[in-house]
Chains A and B, each alone.
Chain A
Amino acid sequence: MSKAAAVAPSSALGRWWLKWRFHINILLLLIPLGFMPKYFADASLFRGDSGLGEREIGTVQVGPWSLQLAELRNEAPRPDGPAGYMKSFNAALCDTCIDQVKAAYLRIGKPRSLRAAGVIFFGTPYRMGATLPIPERTKDDAELWITLEGWDGSMHQASIPLSEASPATMAWLAQQGGKR
Chain B
Amino acid sequence: MSSHLFKYPARRVMVAGFLALLGFSGQALAHNPMCECKSLGDDQIRCTGGFSDGSGAPGVTLDVIGYDETILVPGKLGSDSTLTFKRPEGEFYVLFDAGPGHIVEIDQADIE
Q: Chain A interface (Cβ within 8 Å of chain B)?
A: 1, 6-7, 17, 28, 31-32, 35, 42, 80-84, 86, 103, 105, 112-113, 115-121, 130-131, 133
Residues of A within 8 A of B65 (CB): 112
Partner of B69, one of A105, A113, A131: A113
- Complex contacts, A1 vs chain B, CB 8 Å: 4
Contact, CB under 8 Å: A82 / B69: no
Residue of A nearest to B95 (CB): A116
Classify the secondary structure of B's interface with A.
mixed
User: A108 → chain B, closest Cβ, in Å?
Assistant: 11
Interface size on B, residues (CB 8 A): 24
Give B96-111 as 1s and 0s: 1 = Cβ < 8 Å from A's Cβ atoms. 0100111101000000
Q: A80-B52, A83-B52 are in contact. Are A118 and B32 (CB under 8 A)?
A: no
B10 proximal to A (CB < 8 A) = no
Q: How far apart are the CA atoms of A113 and B3 in the complex, in Å?
A: 72
A/B interface sample: 9 pairs, CB < 8 A: A7-B3, A42-B26, A82-B50, A83-B32, A105-B101, A112-B65, A116-B95, A118-B103, A121-B101
Q: Which residue of A28, A42, A84, A103 contacts B100 across the interface (Cβ within 8 Å)? A: A103
Whose C-beta in chain A lies nearest to the C-beta of B103?
A: A116
Known: A35-B22, A112-B93, A115-B95. Is A86-B30 also a contact (CB below 8 A)?
yes
CA distance A31 to B30 in the complex (A): 29
Query: What chain B residues lie within 8 Å of A81 (beta carbons)?
Result: 52
Nearest CB to that of B4 among chain A residues?
Answer: A1
- Name A112's contact: one of B30, B101, B105 (CB within 8 Å): B105
Q: Which of B3, B30, B97, B105 contacts A131 (CB 8 A)?
A: B30
Query: Is B93 within 8 A of A115, CB to CB?
Result: no
User: Is B18's beta carbon under 8 Å from chain A?
Assistant: yes
Checking A28, A82, A115, A120 against B34 with a beta-carbon cut-off of 8 angstroms, the contacting residue is A82
C-alpha gap A103/B100 in the complex (Å): 9
